[in-house]
Structures are given as structure tokens and as C-alpha cells.
Structure 1
Amino acid sequence: MCGVVGVVRFDGAPVDPEALAAMTQTLRHRGPDDLRTWTDGSVGLGHTRLSIIDVAGSAQPLWSADRSQVIVFNGEAFNYREVRAAYDYPFRTQGDTEVVLAAHLREGERGIARLRGQFAFGVWDTRARELHLYRDRLGVLPLYYVHTPAFFAFASELKALLPLLGSVRVDQQGLAAYLAQRAVPAPLTLVEGVRKVLPGHHLTVTANGRLTASRYWSVPVPEPRPMTDAEAVALTRAALDASIGESLVADVPVGSLLSGGVDSSLIATLASRAAGGGLRTYAAGFGQPDDETSHAEFVAGLIGSDHTTVVVRPKEFSDLIPKLTWHRDAPLSEPADVAVHRLAATARHDVKVLLSGEGSDELFAGYPKYRLATAFDLALRLPAGLRTPLAGTARRWLPERAHRAGVLTRALEADGRADGYAAWFSPFSRTERGALTGADAPSMPPSPPLPDVPPLEQMLYLDQHSWLSDNLLERGDRMCLAASVELRPPFLDHRVVELAAQLPARVKLRGRTGKWVVKQVASEVLPDRIVHRPKSGFKVPLDRWFRGDFGAEAHDRLTAPGSFAREMFDAAAVARLLGEHRSGRRNHDIRLWTLLGLEIWHDVVATPSVSRS
């Protein structure tokens, strides 16, 4: 994994080499092994390298053999040897970067569509005087840009672009989306003027400033085809074996995250088999008796991995948030962000690459909410004037322990199906957002259109379309690269994603069993106590922490004169959340976490001179 930056000026002014070097240096954590820049008048490129493939070669920026094009590449093309064999090209290195450049040079988008892997990169064409940007199909890797009348600039992380903006202003639509979804959907960000390249897209920028975008791949609309259960299981096993085999392509050691849940346990088990043993695995806990670390240790014993358990303490958790917020370029939307980083930082002593089980829930219906898809769709057909007050009344009478029912009532206040499906991840209902932000609440960005498929498939499609790339994958990339570790999610090989769209709904959700087909595959290699135990995820005791010292810190930050919360939100509404939670009357942990995250993010963005690395 690496960091890439680039600037193309339209006003005739030269790119400042020192400014470009500073932008590149901002991404040094993404590539501690090498840093290089190149400028030619009004164009400049920068690259920081985390050497994974062809460690001794493939320095970047890398030129094509005919010196017509130059690339800065972030990511891995796992099938680069296969693609390399398809081209008559005078290769000079043994790495994947030159193969990617050759694919673009020979075939453009069609060549990039040959690649399997995760990537985000820029190519400057010296003859056509055009910049080309590509982002991988699922958005595993990030790519941001700024487009003004004077220049176009891109970078792997938003922070590298901030010096070009002059002043930093909060994007109001991005803020509205974050309050609704705990993530900002591409192409928006929380910073006005900065945008994300959409997953599966190719941008072209000409020397006179014209920008065009095209899509070379999109999340497939579900089209189930007839097959038996046995066929579905066999196809899924074959797709995962192929993906995991390619995910192990590296010239450095590869390890695996192992939470003890079915997804990470399956990935670690299949990876250990494919690698012939010797795998290192890593698990995190929070010192709670009901965390997953014992299950992870059990699986590690089964597969014979060299296993490490990391315990995250409350003080460490609190201390890391500002640093990790800087790395994420956004609020930490999930408390598990901290745990992912601690795992990566520990693993960095042994490996440069980690596998994860990310994506399985969104492909194969792993979340409990999917069981309610049909009933929820029917409820959303009620008139909003009736549905919203009923949901609000029900939420006020719910006991504190009824967390999932509270999530449902918030989702029922949404506008339409797309917003309702997205609102399952919402910390605040539409009514609560109105109370928090007042009459001048920013408008929400439009929801993506939903395909004409059953409710379960619509919900899965929407989660793959945005929640996955804009929250979970962003977290994985940023938290691991903060420790200079590359994260690879084998479930998100596009062949697995396309297969999932063809599987019948019954092999995803069967009765109350989600991820049925994944669990059948897992049953071939793992015992029932791992395959069929209830889903739990990272159990961060936020509700208790917010009633202790962590809550006192949140109170001080959110209520201080001049705070972002005081500027943007109704002070009485914030005070009510803090008071009700502290007294134990209500559990507002995820809402307080969201507001605290925004506050810390604003502090970090507003003071870029403060070192966060």
C-alpha cells in the first residue's frame, strides 16, 4: 500500500516542488519505505511507498517504456502476472505497478477492468496532456480530489489537500449525511471543495481543466439464478478459495485479523491452508468477560497460527482518538476503529499485510436488520404523518436495554425506502436531527436509486453501494495505514461480489440465519461452536465509559464556549443527551460518540499545524 498525490495547474503557473514534497510527506505513514516526487512545469506527482511486491524495484513515480506516461500507484493488482502475460510490452520491473501502467497504456479502461485487486492511482499522459485517475471497484482504497479554475489536485488522503484550500469550511451536506448515517457518501466529504472519486470510476482531467467521469464497474443489481443449495455452497467456496489465494500474493509476510466470528475465522482458516501454515493472527478485546478473544484463541489453536491478543484500555482508547481522527480525515464513526488500529500497530512488528473478513455481512445478509427487511418495507408504506409520531412515541417508552428496537424506530422516521434502509446505521432519527440542528438543518444528499428487486436485496444493494466503502472500508484502510499496514478483504474480490448477486435469497437468509451459505462453507473447516454462535462484533463498553471519566471529557468538549457543538447544534439538546446518559435514564452512547467524534474532527482540521502522526 502507498500514498499518492498529484497537481495539475491550468493557469500556467509551475507546481511548487517544495509544496508538492510537503503534500507527499503528509502521507509518509502510508509508505514509510520510500518517498519521491516529480515535477514538470505545471504538473507534479508524489508517492510514498509501502513495499509489498517487487520490494527492491518498482520505484515511483514510474515511467512507461516510451516515456509517454508516468504513474503513481496505490494498491495491489493480485493477478498482475496473468495480466502481464497478455501484453507485448517491454517490462523492466517485476512488480504490479508497471503491469497496471501497461494495461492503461494498451487498453485504457478495458485494461484496468482486467485487474483483480484493490487500487487507486493517477497516470499523467505527457502527449495528450491528460491526467487519468482510477479507483477500484468496491472502493477498498481511497482517492480524494480538489477541482478549481486554477488547478486540479488529488491525494490518497484528504489531509494532503488541505494546504491547497486556504481555509477549511465544513460541507453542510456532508455534515447532514454524517449525522444521519455516521458516514459521508461519495462523492461528498465533510470538507467543502474536497470530493471522493466514486468506486469503480475513472476520471479524466485535461490540461485546460475539463473533467469527465466514467464508470467501468458498478455494484451488481441482484439477479438470482436457479441453483441448488449444494451448488451455491460449492460456488461460494471456490470463489473464496480463489480470492484468498490471490490475497496472499506478496513478497513480505501476510497475517490475518481473527475476531473469533465466523467471517474472520473462515478467512484465517482458508488462508492458513492456502499458505501451508505459518500464519500469524491477531485479535482485540476490551478486557470484558464477554468479549470474543477466547473464541479467537480457540480458532488460532485449531489452525496452528501464531496468535496475539491485544487488550484496549479506556485511557488508551481516549488518548488515541485525536491521532486516529487525523489519520481517518473524518470522525471515528465506530468505536472499533481504535481496536483495528491497535491490532495493526501490533501486527506491524511481524507483517506488512493483514487479511480481514470485511464485506461478508453486506454481501450475504449477516446483520440482524436483514431479517426485518420485508416487514420494514411494509411499515415504510404508511404515511409519514402517521409513521413518524408513532415511531417517536414508541422510542420514548422503550426500556434502555431495547437497543435494536430503538434503531428500528429511528429508521421508521426516514423519508422513503432508500433513506429508511440507510437509517439503520443512523445515530439520530430525522426528528432528533431536527431538534439538534434547528430550523436551518442542512439538506440531505439525494439517495441512490434502488433497483426493482425484493426488499432484502435492495437493502443489501444499498449497503454495498455506500455503507461498505464510505465507512467500513475507509476505517480499515485508514486505521491500518496509520500503522503502515495494508489491509486486504478477500470477501470483496469482485468475483465474490458478482457471485453473491446471483445467489438465491434463501442461501443468504434462511429463517433467522443470516449468511447461511457462508456458514455452510465454514462448517466444512470449522466446528459448530464457531460457525453458529451469535454475532457480536467488537463489544466496546461505551455506555459505561460515557458514565465515567470518558463522559466527563465528552461533556467538557461538547459544552465548552467556542466548541463546534456549541456553534452547530442546539445547546439544550446536547445537554439533554449528556444528562440523560450520565443519570442512567437513557443510553445515548452512539449519539454522544457521534457528537464527540465531530468535535474532535473539527479540532484536528482547524489546527493543521498540530502534529498528529
Structure 2
Amino acid sequence: MCGIAGIFRFDSEPVDPALLAEMTGLLAHRGPDDERFWAAGPVGFGHRRLSIIDLSGSAQPMASADGRHHICFNGEILNYRRLREQTSYPFHTNGDTEVALARFVTRGVDGLSDLAGQFAFAVHDAERNQLYLVRDRIGILPLYYHLDGGRLVFASEIKAILPALSGPPRVDHASVADYLAARSVPAPRTLFEGIRKLLPGHVLVVTGDGRISTRRYWRPPTPADMLTVGPEEAVDLVDETLRRAVERATVADTPVGAYLSGGLDSSLVAALMTRQTAEPVHTFSVGFGSGPFDELPIARSVSARLGTRHHELEVGPNDFSDLWHTATWHRDAPVSEPADVAVHMLARLAREQVRVVLSGEGADELFGGYPKYRLAALTSRIGAIPAWMRGPVFDRAQQALPAGAHRLRIALRALGEPDERARREGWFAPFTERERMRLLGRPRFEHGRLLPATDSDPLRGMLEADLLGWLPDNLLERGDRMTMAASVEMRPPMLDHELVELAFRLPSAVKVRDGRGKWVLKEVARRYLPDEIVDRPKVGFRVPIGEWFRGGLSELARDMLTGGGSFVGDLLGRPAVRRMLDMHESGRRNEEIRIWTLLCLEVWHEVFFRQATPGNGGNSRSWVGGTGARGNAQFWRA
């Protein structure tokens, strides 16, 4: 995995090498092993490398054999050895980057359909004077860009684009409503005005005179692609495809480990890994002290059963307050999930042993693991009750519930939303559409988002919406940033595109069956894990922030959200924020997610707009003028 950055000017003036070096330097954490540059007049690429495949070769940016194309690549092509055998091309390296370049040179954009893995890269075609930006099918890896009248700049992370802006960064206030709806901003927008995320499964084509166009090269299978299979055949298909995905995900020239929470998904991935290697697998777990959220004991028991070399750590509230700003700087956005900080600390632990970790990310969104999926039909059909009646009634009902009825409160908030799209997303929404209208005067910004295909199957529609939005914009962005902040690569084999395509070709009846979510995956897991792991109630990667906001973090939250100069206090109004804090501290209501959402927005604003940015390793540094660590930098021109 790596960090990439680049500039494409439309006025034929040469790229400023100092600016390109500054941009690339801000990605030092993504690639501590090497730093190189290439420039040819108005186009230039910068690359930071974390060596995983072909450790001593495959230097980037890389030129094609005829010199016409140059690639700046982030990611892994996990089927590169097979593709190399199938491609007529004069290869000079043993790595996957040249295979990706060769497929692009020989087949153009159509060659993307051959690539299995996770990737985000840029290719410049000198003959056509065109730049291509490519992001993988699911959006496992990020790619951002900024377009003004004279140039396009791109990078793996937003912070690397900021030095190229013509002025200080600005908040995209239209996207704040998106953030309050989902704890993240859906592509193509970001919280930074004028900076966009390339949509998953898309190619952005930029011509030398500044014209841009996008092409979607992948989409999930449609209902017309549905397989007619029985439950047992579905289990066999998932088993076979998942084993192949895990085998592909372990392709590396450096050790590969796995996160192990003790839950079904990570335990299944670890179990399959141990069957595919003779060496013990390194596994890594995090806990939050004794209590219902601590999964360290169960992770230890799974590790003992699988025979892994297990490593663990414990996280407390002081770790969160100490690392909050650093994690936000790495995220380029509010730290949307409380587990983000814990994931970063876990990645730092993993870095002591491996450079690559596998995770169970994506299984819930493919196979219906969240409780909301069991209510997909109700989420759709309740729209028969008019929104003007349903919304206020459900609103009053959820406000009257005690703090212990947190899940019922979430359900009422989601089911009270006005339309099916809002109800689907409302299960994860900190603030409802009516609340966002009251606080900000706007509900959401919809233009350009990827939305699920029209479908009569409510469960399928909910799963596809999460695959296109919740996963890439939230969980996968978290996974990439928090692990790469520790110079570790995360791979989610559950999101191998073959498994994703299979999942969307299977009938919904094998996903949620007899009121049980993730049925087909659980039946696969029974072949490798004991029933007590398979049937264990879903806990999730939970952090006890509700207790912390009534204890050690209470004063901090109140000061940040209602004190003088608070961005959130000015934006939403301090009386409304105080009422929320009071209700939570009194125990009358559980407002932990809403408080967390607002606190993280406040920290993000402080980090990027008050010049208090912590750099790589937590050292205080502004993004302006900083270049980060500079390894073995090499700059060359065509």
C-alpha cells in the first residue's frame, strides 16, 4: 500500500517540483520505505511506498515499456501472477504495479475488469495528453481531487491536496448536513469545499484542456443476475468463494496477520488463514476494560483454538483524548466511529509484527448482519402511513423512552423518516431529517451520490445502499486511514469482488432466514468454528463512550461544544447542545452517538481550521509548509 499525489496543469506550464514534494511528503505515513517523483512538463506524480510485493523492485512512478504511459499506484492486485501469464507485455519487474499498468496499456479502461484487489491509481497517457484516475470497485482505497480553472490535483488523502489550494481551506457547509445524517459525507463530496472523492468503481478522465468525464466500470449484480439455488448450495458457494478470497488476500512478500475480535467475521477469516499456512498466524485484539464491551476473553479463546500467536491491548478514555487530534488529522474528517482510535492503536500493535492485516469488514453489509436488516420489510412498508402523521408520533414516542431502550429509540427514529431512502439510512443517523432541518435549515445534499437500483426486495435495497455508501464512506475509510496511519495495510477479504458479486446474486432468503441475520455465512462458519462462536450474539466493535461522557470525558465534551469559539456551538446553537448534554449526563437519555458526532466535528474543525494539526506520529504541525519525513527521495523528469 502506498500514498500517491499528482498535478495536471492545463496551461502547459511545468509542475512546481517543490509543491509536488510538499504534497507527497504529507503522505509519509502511507509509505515510509521510499519516496520518488516523476514530472514531464505540465504533469507530475509523487509516490510514497510501503513495500509489500516485489520488495526490492517496482519503484514508482513507473513508465510503460514504450514510455507513453506513466502510473502512480496505490494498492494491491492480488491476482497479478495469473494476469502476468495472460498478458503479452515486456515485463521488467516482478510486481503487481507493472501488471496493472500493462493491462491498462493493452486494454485501456476495459482492463480494469481483470483486476482483483484494492487499488486507487493515476495513469497519464502522453500521446493523448490525458490523465485517468481510477478507484477500486468497492472503494476500499481512497482517492481525492481538486479541480480549478488551471489544473487538477489529486492525492490519496485530503491533507496532501491542501497545500495546492489557492487559499485557506473552507468548510463545505452543504456537506455538514450529510455528516449529521451519516457520520460521514457520501462521495463525491467532502467536508472541504472544492475537494471531491472519486466514486467507487469509477474512472475520472481529464483532458489536457481541463475537460473531465466519469465512467462507471463496475456495479453490483442486478436482480436479473439472481441465482436459483437452495440453501445448502448457497452455503457451498459462499464457502468456496470465501476460501479463495482469503487465499488471495494473503498474497504478499512480507508477513500477513489478522484482526481478531472474537466475533464471527474476524474469527472466520482467521480460521481460514490458519488452514492455508504452515506458520502460526499473528492475531491482534483490543479491549476496553472489564464489562459487556470487552471481547478480549473470547478473542483469547478463539486464538487458543486456532493456534495463533496472539497480541492484545486495552484502551481507556485517556487514550481517546490523547489521540483524538492525531486520528482526526489522519482521517481528514471527523473520527466518525468511536472505534477509530482503538483501530489505530491496534494497527500500531500489529506493526510490531506484520505489515498487512486481514479484517472481517463487509460481512454484515453483504449478508445481512445488522439488526436493521431483519426489519427491512417493515422499513419499506411503513411508508404506507403518511409521513406527516408517522414522523411526529414516533418522535414523541422515542423522546419518552428511558435511556435503557436505546435500540427501540433508534428504530422509532429511523421508521419515522419521511421516505424509504431516509428510513434505510436512518438506522445509522445521529440526527433525523426533521432535526437537521431545525438545526441547519437543510436535510441533505443528494447530487452525485451512488444510490441502489430500484428493487422490489427491501432487504436487497438496504444492503446495496450500505455497500455503495455506508461502507466506503465510513467503515472502509476508517480502516484505511487508521491502519495506514501506523504504516500497516488492511485487507478485507469479505469484500473481494467475486464474493460481493456472489452475495448480490444470492436470494435474500439465505441471508436473513427464520429471523436470523447472516444465515448463510454462519453456516459456512460452522464448518470451521464451534457453535458457541457462531451463535454468539452480535456485539460489534463497541466502545463504552456513553459511560465516559457521564464520567471522565463529561467536562471535556461540555467545554468543547458550548465554550467560547466552539464551531459546533455557533453552528447549531449552544442551548440545543446543552440540552443534549444535560439529558445524557442525567441518565434520562442515551445521547452518546450524537455527542460523539458533534465532538468529532468540533475536533476536525480545530485541527484543519485553527492551524493545530498534529503531523505523523502526533507531533504538532500545521499542514502549511510541512513536508513530513523524507526517506530516500528521488525526483526525475521525462
Partner Cα separation in structure 2 for residue 595 and residue 164 of structure 1 = 29
Contact 1:28-1:48 at 8 Å conserved across structures: yes
Task: Look up the match of 2:560.
Answer: 557
> Could you say which residue in structure 1 is the equivalent of 2:181?
180
- Structure possessing the higher relative contact order (Cα contacts under 8 Å, 6 or more residues apart): 2
Look up the match of 2:221: 220
The answer to whether the 8 A contact 1:322-1:612 is kept is no
Which range moves more in the overlay, 562-571 or 148-157?
562-571
Q: Larger deviation: 577-586 or 524-533? A: 577-586
> What's the TM-score once normalised by structure 1's chain length?
0.98
2:263 aligned to 252, 256, 261, which one?
A: 261
Q: Distance in 2 between matches of 1:461 and 1:384?
A: 24
Q: Does 1:600 align with 2:603?
A: yes
Deviation at 1:332, TM superposition (A): 0.9
Query: Does the 8 Å contact 2:561/2:569 carry over to 1?
Result: yes
Q: In the alignment, residue 280 of structure 1 is paired with which amino acid?
A: H
Q: Deviations over 1:486-525 (max 9, x none)?
A: 0000010111011001112121011221111111110001
Cα offset, 1:381, TM superposition: 2.5
Q: Hey, what does 1:426 align to over in structure 2?
A: 429
Q: 1:69: Cα distance to partner?
A: 0.9
SS at match of 2:467: helix
After superposition, residues 327-346 of structure 1 pair within 5 angstroms as 327-346=330-349
Q: Distance in 2 between matches of 1:609 and 1:289?
A: 35
Q: Which residue of 2 aligns with 1:508?
A: 511
User: Secondary structure, in 3 states, of the residue corresponding to 2:87?
Assistant: coil
**Which 4+ runs in 1 deviate beyond 6 A?**
none
Question: Against the structure 1 CA distance between its residues 349 and 553, is the aligned structure 2 distance closer, same or farther, given a 3 Å change threshold?
Answer: same
Deviation at 1:289, TM superposition (A): 2.8
Aligned equivalents of 1:316, 1:530: Cα separation in 2: 29
Contact 1:179 1:426 in 2 (8 A): yes
> Aligned residue for 1:53?
53
Shift of 1:539: 2.5
Q: How many residues align?
A: 611
- From the superposition, tell whether residues 277 and 519 of structure 1 become closer, same or farther in structure 2 (CA, over 3 Å): farther
1:537-552 correspondence runs (5 A): 537-552=540-555
1:221–1:451: 8 Å Cα contact kept in structure 2? no
Distance 1:344 1:406 in 2: 34
RMSD across aligned C-alpha pairs, in angstroms? 1.3
Secondary structure of the corresponding residue to residue 432 of structure 1: helix
Amino acid at match of 2:328: T
What are the within-5 Å matches in structure 2 for residues 477-516 of structure 1? Answer: 477-516=480-519
CA shift, 1:317, in A, is 1.5
Note the C-alpha offset of 1:316: 0.9
Alpha-carbon distance, 1:417 to partner: 0.7
| CA–CA separation in structure 2 for the residues paired with 1:156 and 1:415 | 36
Distance 1:113 1:131 in 2: 19
Q: Distance in 2 between matches of 1:109 and 1:126?
A: 16
Corresponding residue for 1:288?
290
SS at 1:146 equivalent: strand
Where do residues 271-286 of structure 1 align in structure 2 (5 Å cutoff)? 271-286=273-288
Cα offset for 1:48? 0.2
Query: Do residues 75 (structure 1) and 104 (structure 2) align?
Result: no
1:311-348 deviation line (CA, Å, top 9, x unaligned): 01110111111100110111111101111111110000
Partner of 1:129 in structure 2?
Answer: 129
- Of 375, 380, 390, which residue of structure 2 is paired with 1:377? 380
Which letter does structure 2 place at the counterpart of 1:112?
L
Once the two structures are superposed, what CA deviation does each residue of 1:37-89 show, in whole Å capped at 9, x if it has no partner?
12222111000000000000001011111111111100000000111111111
User: Aligned residue for 1:139?
Assistant: 139
Equivalent residue runs for 1:408-427 within 5 Å: 408-427=411-430
Q: TM-score, normalised by structure 2?
A: 0.94
1:402 correspondence with 2:405: yes
Aligned partners of 1:113 and 1:216 also within 8 Å: yes
Cα distance, 1:566 vs. partner? 2.4
Q: Bigger CA drift: 445-454 or 597-606?
A: 445-454
Unpaired runs of 5+ in structure 1? none
CA contact (8 A) 1:272 1:278 kept: yes
Q: Which residue of 2 aligns with 1:462?
A: 465
Secondary structure of 1:308's counterpart equals strand
Letter in 1 for 2:88: D
CA distance in 2, matches of 1:177, 1:215: 23
Q: Which residue number corresponds to residue 351 of structure 1?
A: 354
Amino acid at match of 1:286: F
Give the one of 557, 579, 582 matched to 1:579. 582
Letter aligned with residue 19 of structure 1: L
Partner-residue secondary structure (3-state), 2:228 = coil
- Aligned residue in 1 for 2:171: 170
The CA deviation at 1:443 is 4.3
Name the CA distance, whole Å, in 2 between partners of 1:482 and 1:286. Answer: 21
Secondary structure class of the residue paired with 1:38:
strand
Deviation at 1:441, TM superposition (A): 3.4
Aligned partner of 1:530 among 515, 533, 550:
533
Q: Which has the higher mean CA deviation after the structures are superposed, 268-277 or 327-336?
A: 268-277
Q: Are the counterparts in 2 of residues 410 and 430 from structure 1 also a CA contact under 8 Å?
A: no
How much does 1:554 deviate?
A: 1.1
Answer yes or no: is the 8 Å Cα contact 1:4–1:47 preserved in 2.
yes
Which residue in the other structure is 2:619 paired with?
none
Match of 2:364 in 1: 361
What is the alpha-carbon distance in structure 2 between the residues aligned to residue 442 and residue 286 of structure 1?
35
- Of all paired residues, the percent bearing the same amino acid is 51
CA change 1:522–1:502 in 2 (3 A) is: same
* Structure 2 SS opposite 1:567: helix
| 1:310 CA displacement | 1.2
> Is 510-519 or 487-496 further displaced after alignment?
510-519
Distance in 2 (alpha carbons) for counterparts of 1:401 and 1:609:
38
Counterpart amino acid of residue 297 in structure 1 = R
* Mapped pair 1:240 → 2:234: no
Aligned counterparts of 1:42 and 1:442: Cα–Cα separation in 2 = 41
CA contact under 8 A between 1:284 and 1:343: conserved in structure 2? yes
What is the one-letter code of the residue matched to 1:177? Answer: D
Q: Which residue of 2 aligns with 1:26?
A: 26
Q: How far apart in 2 are the matches of 1:432 and 1:443?
A: 11
CA distance in 2, matches of 1:65, 1:472: 38
Offset of residue 159 of structure 1: 0.8
Contact residue 2 and residue 74 of structure 1 kept, 8 A: yes
**Deviates further, 412-421 or 493-502:** 412-421
Deviations 1:136-173, CA, capped at 9 Å, x for gaps: 00000000000111110110001111122212111123
User: How far 1:567 moved relative to its partner?
Assistant: 2.4
Give the whole-Å Cα distance in 1 for the aligned partners of 2:143 and 2:611: 20
Paired with 1:278 and 1:385, the residues of 2 have a C-alpha distance of: 59
Query: How far did 1:608 drift?
Result: 4.5
Q: Please give the alpha-carbon distance, in whole angstroms, between the structure 1 residues aligned to 2:37 and 2:269.
A: 37
Q: Residue 124 of structure 2: SS of its match in structure 1?
A: strand
C-alpha deviation, 1:412, in angstroms: 2.4
Deviations 1:557-590 (A, max 9, x none): 1112222112211211111111111122211110
